[in-house]
Amino acid sequence: MKIKSIVAGLGLCFICHSSFATTVGFAQVGSESGWRTSFSESVKAEAKKRGIELKFSDAQQKQENQIKAVRSFIAQGVDAIIIAPVVETGWTPVLKEAKRARIPVVIVDRNVQVQDESLFVTRIASDFVEEGRKAATWLMSQPQAQQQCNIIELQGTVGATAAIDRAKGFNEVLAKHPQAKIVRSQTAEFTRAKGKEVMESLLKAEQGGKSICALWAHNDEMALGAIQAIKEAGLKPGKDMLVVSVDAVPDYFKAMADGEANATVELNPHLGGPAFDVIEAYLQGKKDIEKLIRTTGDLFLQDTAAAEYEKRRLN
Ligand code: GYE
């Protein structure tokens, strides 16, 4: 199939169309959140639908594992590689290796920091800065936030675009509201277990959390863990303390329907289709592919949460 790709790349292939057997390696971050799991499932289902052979690697949130996986995809001579990077830095050497082997790489979700943009075909991702802005804009519109509003922030993985950019967007809006400020901020690595553990310690540090107006979590999974900690501290999440985050996973809709969370910005996990569309187009010779393909998502609140939960829980 390598030969077919080359022939297709030259624009000479009449039989290649969607039926040619393509092998794609997918270096995934891990399975730290419900959103991540849906994203992995989307890629697997889409590969199956299109007859693509998928080599899937779960890096358990470690970049070194991802780099190893990419090297092994290169050694196996796959036709294309999808990388959902854990962190932004440290990608140049392995991307160069892929380029040397003439294997196209598509970046999905978080970003990579490289000087040479020709090292990847495109990146398919949401605007994380905008997600942070949306979360903060909603929070700042709430009556509780009109007077002094002390916020606890649970950050995502250190060095990950989703954490860097969400914080940036949120803080940008907050800067226009001097009555609101982040009083505690710590990473909880995008997981529910860490979300609970870190929130417990931050609530202790804040004398139980009575003076906290809101929790801002960089993803629903950490918020769900933190909601547990807030309840155990004797406070009502969603009422005594507003809860806002990003992802829009089914469990979070349930929490909103139960009144224990207030808002979330949707992050589309169905990235398999767009990723394979780009790969197929590239292998068939299309070279003028945009460097950034955006996905978007709306803010969801409690009013539609029960209905959304019903719609989404089985998907
Ligand atoms: O929000 C979180 C995940 O990189 C944007 O990673 C993604 C984040 C997502 O595990 O749930």
For residue 274, what is the domain's CATH number? 3.40.50.2300
Are residues 146 and 231 located together in one domain of the fold?
yes
C-alpha torsion 285→286→288→293, nearest 10:
-130
Mean of all residue pLDDT scores within the chain: 94
User: Judging by DSSP bridges, how do beta strands 242-247 and 23-28 pair with one another?
Assistant: unpaired
Amino acid in position 236: K
Are residues 245 and 279 located together in one domain of the fold?
no
> Residue 314's pLDDT is what?
79
Are residues 120 and 138 located together in one domain of the fold?
no
Tell the residue nearest (CA) to atom 2 of ligand 1: 219
Task: Find out whether the beta carbon of 245 lies less than 6 Å from any atom of ligand 1.
Answer: no
User: How is the beta sheet containing 242-247 ordered, strand by strand?
Assistant: 180-187, 149-155, 214-217, 242-247, 263-266, 299-301
Instruction: Determine the Cα–Cα distance for residues 98 and 280; give it in Å rounded to an integer.
Output: 17
Task: Find out whether the beta carbon of 266 lies less than 6 Å from any atom of ligand 1.
Answer: no
Residue 289 domain boundaries = 3-126+268-296
Q: In angstroms, what is the span from residue 280 Cα to ligand 1's centroid?
A: 26
Which residues, including other chains, have CB under 8 Å from residue 16's CB and lie 6 or more apart? 4, 5, 7, 8, 283, 284
Task: Find out whether the beta carbon of 190 lies less than 6 Å from any atom of ligand 1.
Answer: yes
Tell the residue nearest (CA) to atom 1 of ligand 1: 219
Instruction: Determine the Cα–Cα distance for residues 259 and 254; give it in Å rounded to an integer.
Output: 9
Summarize the confidence of residues 158-165 as an average pLDDT.
98
Tell the residue nearest (CA) to atom 5 of ligand 1: 162
Task: Find out whether the beta carbon of 188 lies less than 6 Å from any atom of ligand 1.
Answer: no
Are residues 163 and 245 located together in one domain of the fold?
yes
Are residues 224 and 277 located together in one domain of the fold?
no
Over 90: is that where the pLDDT of 7 sits?
no
Residue 237 DSSP symbol: B
Q: Could you tell me which residues are beta bridge partners of residue 25?
A: 55, 81
Over 60: is that where the pLDDT of 2 sits?
no
Q: In angstroms, what is the span from residue 20 Cα to ligand 1's centroid?
A: 32
User: Judging by DSSP bridges, how do beta strands 263-266 and 299-301 pair with one another?
Assistant: antiparallel
Q: In angstroms, what is the span from residue 162 Cα to ligand 1's centroid?
A: 6
CA-to-CA dists, residue 270 to 41, 59, 147, 170, 274, angstroms: 9, 20, 39, 25, 8
Are residues 103 and 11 located together in one domain of the fold?
yes
Instruction: Determine the Cα–Cα distance for residues 274 and 290; give it in Å rounded to an integer.
Output: 13
Are residues 172 and 307 located together in one domain of the fold?
yes
Are residues 292 and 308 located together in one domain of the fold?
no
Are residues 118 and 136 located together in one domain of the fold?
no
Helix runs in 190-240, H state only:
192-205, 220-232
C-alpha torsion 202→207→212→215, nearest 10:
20
Are residues 110 and 182 located together in one domain of the fold?
no
Task: Find out whether the beta carbon of 252 lies less than 6 Å from any atom of ligand 1.
Answer: no
C-alpha torsion 170→173→176→180, nearest 10:
-40
Instruction: Determine the Cα–Cα distance for residues 95 and 179; give it in Å rounded to an integer.
Output: 45
Provide the whole-model pTM: 0.93
pLDDT band at 16, cuts 50/70/90?
Answer: very low
Task: Find out whether the beta carbon of 223 lies less than 6 Å from any atom of ligand 1.
Answer: no
Task: Find out whether the beta carbon of 267 lies less than 6 Å from any atom of ligand 1.
Answer: yes
Q: In angstroms, what is the span from residue 314 Cα to ligand 1's centroid?
A: 20
Q: In angstroms, what is the span from residue 36 Cα to ligand 1's centroid?
A: 6
Summarize the confidence of residues 40-58 as an average pLDDT.
97
Q: In angstroms, what is the span from residue 243 Cα to ligand 1's centroid?
A: 17
> Residue 14's pLDDT is what?
46
* DSSP H or E stretch at residue 75: helix 63-76
| Pick from 225, 231, 163: nearest CA to 194 | 225
Number of domains in the chain: 2
Task: Find out whether the beta carbon of 109 lies less than 6 Å from any atom of ligand 1.
Answer: yes
Are residues 104 and 198 located together in one domain of the fold?
no
Are residues 173 and 276 located together in one domain of the fold?
no
Instruction: Determine the Cα–Cα distance for residues 98 and 110; give it in Å rounded to an integer.
Output: 19
CA-to-CA dists, residue 140 to 30, 61, 80, 155, 176, angstroms: 33, 33, 44, 19, 10
Which residues, including other chains, have CB under 8 Å from residue 51's CB and lie 6 or more apart? 19, 21
Nearest-atom index, ligand 1, CA of 160:
4
Over 70: is that where the pLDDT of 257 sits?
yes
Task: Find out whether the beta carbon of 35 lies less than 6 Å from any atom of ligand 1.
Answer: yes
166-194 confidence digits (pLDDT tens): 999 999 999 999 999 999 999 999 999 99
